Amino acid sequence: MTTPQSPIHSGFGVRTTAREALAGKSLAGQVAIVTGGYSGIGLETTRALAEAGASVIVPARTEDKARRNLDGLAGVERATLDLLDPASIDAFARDFIESARPLHMLVHSAGVMACPLMRDGRGHESQFSANHLGHFQLAMRLWPALRRAGGARVVAVSSRGHRIAGVDFDDPDFERREYNKWKAYGQSKSANALFAVALDRRGEADGVRAFSLHPGEILTDLSRHLDDADLRAFGVVRETGVLRQDPAADASRGAFKTVEQGAATSVWCAASDQLRGMGGVYCEDADIAEAVSADSARTAGVRPWATDPEAAERLWSLSEHMTLTRLP
C-alpha cells in the first residue's frame, strides 16, 4: 500500500534533536549500519542510535578520522568501505553477511557535494556514484541481512538539493553535456529519493521499508569543496578556516541546524514507531514532507520528479545496469 506523501503531524519540528526524535525508544538487540557515520550528521546519527542501545557498524574510507571520532562510543564497530570502489563494497557486505547478523537499520549518510568533475573506476560521475550507485550496490548486497531482521528500514539521506535537478537518464555521467557541479549534486539527491520509492515497493512484502530525507542546512565537512562565492550564496562565511552563518545574510533563510538537529530526521526514519507500516516517502524535520509542485517557490517540500514511481523504476533498472547488481 502506498504511503501518502503528506505530513503526519509527528509533533516534532525544525529544532528537534536526534535524541528527542527517538523519544526514549530502546533499540537494544537491533543492528544498524551507518555509512559516513563518523563525521557530521552521520556521527550524530551513530551516537544517537548507539545511546538508544543499537549495535552500530560504521564503515569508513578515512580510517584515522573514524578512529578519532568514534573512540569511546560504546556499541560502535568500525569497518572499511569506499563507496566509489565496487570491490570494497562487496567485501564489506560479504563480511557482514558472513557474520549471520540481521540488519535492522541501514542508513545511507555518506556523501559528497558540489565537487569538481571526477569519475570512479568504472567511469561514472563521482557524485552520482558515491551518493547513489555505491549505496544502491551496498543495499543489494546486504539484502539477505535486511530480510533476516523481520522488519528493517533503509534510510537514504537526500537533500533539498534535489530541487536543482532530476535524474538525466540520457546522460547521468555528464559524458555529452557540460559538467555542472550543482546539477550533478541535485541529480544524485533526486536519485536518493527515487531509490527509496523503488526499494520500498520491492521490500514491503518482506518487511523492509525505505525512506529518504532532507536533514536540514548544517555546516559540516560536506561543504569542503565550496568556494567563498558558493558559501556566500548559502549565507555562510569562512572565518579563520571555520564556517559560520553570515550575520548579514537574508534573515528569511533561518538559522542553520546543529548536527544534533540535523540527525533527527535520519534516526526518526530509521526507528520511529510513528512510521510503522509506512514507507517510500521523503521526509524533513522529523515528519513526512509535503509534496509541492515542480515550479514551487518554497524551499521546503519534495518536488514531483523525486517521488515519481515511473522515474523510480527507470532509475532502478539503470542502477542495476551501471552496478551490475540486483536483488538476490
Contact between 56 and 76 under an 8 Å Cβ cutoff? The reply is: yes
Contact between 133 and 125 under an 8 Å Cβ cutoff? The reply is: no
Which residues does residue 325 pair with via DSSP β-bridges, in sequence order? none
Spatial CB neighbours of 71, under 8 Å, sequence gap ≥ 6: none
Cα 302 to chain center, whole Å? 15
Contact between 156 and 209 under an 8 Å Cβ cutoff? The reply is: no
C-alpha cell of 42? 552521520
- The 3-state DSSP class for residue 236 equals strand
- The 3-state DSSP class for residue 302 equals strand
- What's 257's DSSP letter? B
DSSP string over 96-162: HHHTT----EEEE-----SPPS-B-TTS-BHHHIIIIIHHHHHHHHTHHHHHHTTSEEEEEE--GGG
Residues belonging to the active site: 185
DSSP string over 48-107: HHHHTT-EEEEEES-HHHHHHHHTT-TTEEEEE--TT-HHHHHHHHHHHHHTT----EEE
Contact between 327 and 140 under an 8 Å Cβ cutoff? The reply is: yes
C-alpha cell of 108? 545511507
